[in-house]
Each structure stands twice: as structure tokens, then as C-alpha cells.
Amino acid sequence: MIVAPAAERNKEPILNVIRQQLSPGAPALALELASGSGQHSVHFAQALPNVLWQPSELEPRALESISAYIAATRVENVKQPLNIDCSQSWETWGGLKPSSFDLIVNINMIHITEIKCTEVRVLFICVNSFCSIYVIPKEQS
């Protein structure tokens, strides 16, 4: 399992921002792009049991780490990670359907990727210059 110190440090403040985007207790489906180690995925899912969390990644090592965190924590509301490359059109994203998520989260990716990774229709909430959360309300996606 990958252990990212930054993810450990920022997981709680980011969780607090995510909470603000959700109706308390209401069921929701969240897609996380570029999940990295999986530390965020399981932390958010454990804190938000009403949310079904769909992690994703591009790197095989990260995909393995996410699955390892799911197994180690036995968290039940995290799906197995999808292989998603944000530089590619969303139509290639593992067969995901439009308007099928209540929340899309992307943390600490845009500063290391090419600009086309962020060319999506989003409402952009900037947490700080290296940490961003995208929220796409169903009616806009």
C-alpha cells in the first residue's frame, strides 16, 4: 500500500469541504478522479457511509494500492477502482454514464497534468492552488 504523507495530512480538511457539497444522510454516488494511494477514498467513505465512493486512477501501482486499502479497511462503500485517464474524453471512462454521479472529486492532480485533463464542464471550487474539488451537479453534467 502506498502511504502518502500529504494525503494523511489533508484528508480531514478536504472531507470537511466535501461534506458541504452533500445533503447530510442522503444517499449519493461520488466519483474520485486520480485517487492516488487510496487513503482519501477509504477515509471519505468511512466518514460518509451514505456515499458510495468510486475511486479511479491511471497508474497500475496506485490502482493496486487503492484495492489494498479497500481490503485492509474492509470499508463496504468503496467500489473497486476504475482505470481512468483524465486526458481522454469522458466517454472512455470505464463506461460511466452521463449524469450518473452526484459528486466528482479531484485532488492534487491538475498541477501535474496537461491542460486537457481539466477541460471539462465543471463548477470549480478551489481549496488552494494545489488542491481542487470539482462538483458537477447532475443537471449540468
Ligand X SMILES: C[S@@+](CC[C@H](N)C(=O)[O-])C[C@H]1O[C@@H](n2cnc3c(N)ncnc32)[C@H](O)[C@@H]1O
Q: How far apart are CA 28 and CA 115, in angstroms?
A: 29
Residue with smaller CB distance to ligand X, 27 or 61: 61
Q: How far apart are CA 80 and CA 6, in angstroms?
A: 23
DSSP-derived secondary structure letter, 113: S
Q: How far is the CB of 40 from ligand X (least distance, A)?
A: 6
By the 8 A CB rule, do 88 and 68 touch?
no
Residue with smaller CB distance to ligand X, 9 or 26: 9
DSSP-derived secondary structure letter, 16: H
Stretch that binds ligand X, among 16-24, 45-53, 58-66, 118-126 (CB under 6 A): 58-66
Nearest residue to ligand X by CB is 36
User: Please, which of residues 78-117 interact with ligand X by CB under 6 A?
Assistant: 84-87, 107-109, 112-113, 117
Q: How far apart are CA 129 and CA 111, in angstroms?
A: 8
The interface mask with ligand X, positions 17-56, x = CB under 6 A, is -----------------xxxx--x----------------
- Strand 123-128 to 131-135 pairing: antiparallel
State how far Cα 72 lies from the chain centre: 19
Interacting residues with ligand X (CB under 6 A): 4, 7, 34-37, 40, 57-59, 62, 84-87, 107-109, 112-113, 117
